[in-house]
Amino acid sequence: MSMESAELYRVMTMHMMNSSSPLLFQNGSDAENKSDSLFSDLLNVLLISIQKNSAETGDLNGSVTPYSASQNTTDDALWQSMAQALPPLDLRPVHHPGKQPVAEPGGYDGLIRRAGEKYAVDPRLIQSIISAESGGNPSAVSSSGALGLMQLMPDTARSMGVTDAMDPAENIDGGTKYFRQLLDQYNGRADLALAAYNAGSGNVDKYAGIPPFPETQAYVRRVLAQV
C-alpha cells in the first residue's frame, strides 16, 4: 500500500472538519469519546509508521511505501480500523432555512411579456422597474409596506385588482397596469411616469416634473439606463 502524506492530510482534515465528527465534541457521549480515543491511537500509530518509513528510505516527503507483504497486510488492517473508527462523512448540501430565494427579473419573462402586451408597455421597461424595485425578489417588503416584485403599496394593489401582491403573476399584472395609467396621465413620458411611480403623482405635479429628490432622480436614471 502507498499513500502520500498530502493525501493523508486531506483525508484527516475532511473528517476533522465534518460537523458530525466526534473530534469536535469533546463532551459528547461515551461512545463518541471511545471513538475519539480509538481514532487518536490509530492516527498516532500511522504517523509513527510514516516517520519510521521516511527515516529508513530517506524519503523527506513522508510518503508511505511498501515494506513487504507482511507490512502491507499490517497497513491495510490499520487503515480498515481507522475507517471503522471514523464516522461517515455527511456530504449532503447545507440548506439555510428562512432565506428567501431571489430570482433574476429575467426569470419572469413570460409574465412580463404578457403584461406588456396587455397594457402596451415595453417589456424591457417592466423588467427594469422590477430590477430597481425588488431585485427580482417576489417576497420583498419595504419599510413603507410596499410589496413584491414591483413593490406595490397595499392601496395601489387593491385599486389594480390585486388580491395577493406577493404572487408574481398578480404583482406584475397590477404593477404594469398602474404604470400604464401613469404613462397615460403624463402623455406617454416614461421619465415622469417613473418619477410618479417612485415618489407619487402629487410630487410630480407639485414640481411640474421630476421632483428634486436624489432618490427619485437616481431611480429614474437607473430604470431608463437599463431599457
Which residue stretches of the chain are H helix?
Answer: 5-17, 30-57, 69-85, 109-119, 123-134, 154-159, 168-185, 190-199, 201-207, 214-225
Query: Does the active-site annotation cover 133?
Result: yes
Catalytic-role residue among 4, 7, 133, 170 = 133
> 207 is written with which cell numbers?
414640481
Phi, psi of 3 (to 5 degrees): -150, 125
CA–CA separation, 24 and 27 (whole Å): 9
14 CB-near residues (< 8 Å, 6+ apart): 89
Active-site residue set:
133
